Amino acid sequence: MSLKQEIFEFVEKDLADIERALEANLNPYLDLVRDVASHLLFAGGKRLRPVLMVLSARVCGCNNGEEINLSTVFEYLHAATLLHDDIVDGAETRRGKIAAHKVWDPAEVVLTGDFLLSRTCTIAADTDKLPIIKVITNVTGVMSEGEIQQLLNKKRLDLSEEQYMDVIYRKTAVLISAACEVGALLADAPPEQVEALKEYGRHLGIAFQMADDLLDYVADPKVTGKAIGADLAEGKLTLPLIHALEQTGSETRPRMEKIILDENASKEDFAFVLDNIIKSGGVDYTNQKAQEHVAAAKALLDIFPDCPEKDVLAKVADFAAQRDS
Amino acid sequence: MSLKQEIFEFVEKDLADIERALEANLNPYLDLVRDVASHLLFAGGKRLRPVLMVLSARVCGCNNGEEINLSTVFEYLHAATLLHDDIVDGAETRRGKIAAHKVWDPAEVVLTGDFLLSRTCTIAADTDKLPIIKVITNVTGVMSEGEIQQLLNKKRLDLSEEQYMDVIYRKTAVLISAACEVGALLADAPPEQVEALKEYGRHLGIAFQMADDLLDYVADPKVTGKAIGADLAEGKLTLPLIHALEQTGSETRPRMEKIILDENASKEDFAFVLDNIIKSGGVDYTNQKAQEHVAAAKALLDIFPDCPEKDVLAKVADFAAQRDS
């Protein structure tokens, strides 16, 4: 059985409960809001963030059903970000479907994103737990600035690995980290467990985004539902390319840079960049860094008593850097 | 001394404190966020919402300085809405300045709006008062759907006065109502005072928006900083026009409808519509309705002990329906 199947079998019932809660909590006043939000929300997402929150709550001993309802916050917030992000990127597709802002007026999509952001805060407030509310409101701020940072970084040929790390923290890791932290907070876990799960989520999120950035170069679009080479076409520098640019000699670098800046780069151009990424060790380097974060994430689970959820959290960390979609 | 001057003199020191708090609480990580947000935030807004929150807290006996800091929430939320709203409307100007999305990439403006929304929730969460947090998160949801409703209502020639009332509640009154309610909550006021200020704010907000909608037909653009006839040009039906359409006979109505649907209506067309609004009593009717809401707002202040703040709140209600900008 594959790692993905093992994880899936363990969380299958929770996933079904999460789907129901996502439907029940959406509850807009306007049908249009439901349509726009549903287009993305129910397009076969992995529900990684809600699942991680639920597993984090369980590993800290919480199992009263509240964790399912609260976990929807992390999918809504993720969806809100994707809706605004796809407008920002002018993305054509998302989760293998045409992007929402290509179906509806972009204005409607912006405002539906706002609605999902507000649902997030409302559901958080309904817990009556201030520490949870504070984690979630903080995340929304960190993420909104991360998106802008990513926008500003486009076509910046001198983007450093450190700057890349900041972007993927803000774009991906902070939300996954918050999901795990909130799971622990909901369970009223002791501070060292809250901190361990927060850090577990951060490392996992970084590994996950690094793997995602690799997939943009080496994945099968039929499996991912995303166009390959999209980051390069947008002038978005990710770790494989940053590493390649650092390692590439003065003979090759000018052509690499020209392709990054060229919005109409050809298939041959993409093949040239990919070839150089592989030759320079950019793929191996990114893989290795992702594995380091997976190992760090797993080590943080040591303080928890042995239980099936702890094993699954370790498997999710392994999966984050191994996935094919 | 004009009503406006009387109010201004009373709140002058608070206004200065609010300006400082707006600067201090903005605190973004990126300069660009500060630039985009400041473009709108520090363009000479009236600060009606923060001022109302501060006066509401004071009329309930709160005067510890906390009210200034918390009042920034209502200006940030207002600004976030305007940033997203101006993109939605494709507005050219705002507060007499070129609209933010005409200066920056609309994507940056969307994300700056998200940042301001998140600041709103963070500052609310920092009060550690759940009832305040819940009022504010609820408002963000009501407003986001109100904006979409307004979008859907465009060029709907059959828009009823009831539907118009729902839009202006969501677009304007709910936030002003929340500002007044939160002022009372911050002061730990008894429930009947909280409810009275919430209702005061709702009536005031409705009167304020009705006056705003009238200004779109009868104001001096040099005073308002807005183009006259903008609502008509956008196909946005407001009360003066809704009333005129209801009262207008079958001879005039077809031309009125054609002009509403025509995105390139001429100055003569606008003059024709305005003439019919005046003849049908649409201006008087809207004025009268606004005055009724002013009276209702003022009546709600009766339960408060006499104090200077109570007088000023009554004056603000009068001003809401009398303003020229």
Cβ contact A124:A137 at 8 Å = yes
The token duo for A31 is 């049908």
Q: How confident is the model at residue B21 (pLDDT cuts 50, 70, 90)?
A: very high
Confidence (pLDDT) at A55: 98
The domain ranges of chain B are 3-301
Q: How far apart are CA A169 and CA A179, in angstroms?
A: 14
The secondary structure of residue A172, as a DSSP letter, is I
User: Which of the residues A137, A153, A163 would you substitute to probe the B interface, choosing the one with the greatest number of B C-beta atoms within 10 Å?
Assistant: A137
B195-233 residues labelled b (16+ CB within 10 A) or e (exposed): ebbbbbbbbbbbbbbbbbbbbbbebeeeebebebbebbb
pLDDT in tens, B44-62: 788 999 999 999 999 999 9
pLDDT in tens, B112-154: 999 999 999 999 999 999 999 999 999 999 999 898 888 889 8
Domain A7-314 classified CATH 2.70.98.20? no
B27 → chain A, closest CA residue: A141
| Backbone phi, psi, residue B93, to 5° | -130, 160
Percent of chain B residues topping a pLDDT of 90 = 67
Residues of A in contact with B110 (CB under 8 A): 84, 87-88, 110
CB within 8 Å: B118 and A125: no
Interface check A234 vs B, CB under 8 A: no
pLDDT in tens, B210-230: 999 999 998 776 666 666 788
Position B76 pLDDT exceeds 70: yes
Confidence (pLDDT) at A100: 79
pLDDT in tens, A171-217: 999 999 999 999 999 999 999 999 999 999 999 999 999 999 999 99
Question: What mean pLDDT is predicted for residues B260-271?
Answer: 88
Interface check A84 vs B, CB under 8 A: yes
Coil, strand, or helix at residue A188?
A: coil
A280-291 residues labelled b (16+ CB within 10 A) or e (exposed): bebbebbbebbb
Interface check B147 vs A, CB under 8 A: yes
Confidence (pLDDT) at B224: 64
Confidence (pLDDT) at A43: 79
pLDDT in tens, A3-40: 889 999 999 999 999 999 999 999 888 888 899 889 88
Residues of B in contact with A128 (CB under 8 A): 130
Interface check B130 vs A, CB under 8 A: yes
CATH class as words, domain B3-301: mainly alpha
Please list, in sequence order, all residues whose beta carbon lies within 8 angstroms of the beta carbon of residue A120, skipping any fewer than 6 positions away: A73, A76, A77, A80, A136, A140
Question: What mean pLDDT is predicted for residues B254-283?
Answer: 91
CB within 8 Å: B141 and A118: yes
Residues of B in contact with A37 (CB under 8 A): none
CB within 8 Å: A137 and B121: yes
CB nearest to B148's CB, from A108, A145, A149:
A108
Interface check B209 vs A, CB under 8 A: no
| Backbone phi, psi, residue B97, to 5° | -110, 160
Please list, in sequence order, all residues whose beta carbon lies within 8 angstroms of the beta carbon of residue B57, skipping any fewer than 6 positions away: B63, B67, B183, B184, B186, B187
Percent of chain A residues topping a pLDDT of 90 = 66
Position B325 pLDDT exceeds 70: no
Ranges of residues in chain A with a pLDDT under 70 are 88-90, 221-227, 325
Interface check B125 vs A, CB under 8 A: yes
Question: What mean pLDDT is predicted for residues B21-34?
Answer: 89
Mean pLDDT of chain B: 91
pLDDT in tens, B166-214: 999 999 999 999 999 999 999 999 999 999 999 999 999 999 999 999 9
3-state SS record for B72-94: HHHHHHHHHHHHHHHHHHCCCEE
Confidence (pLDDT) at A93: 73
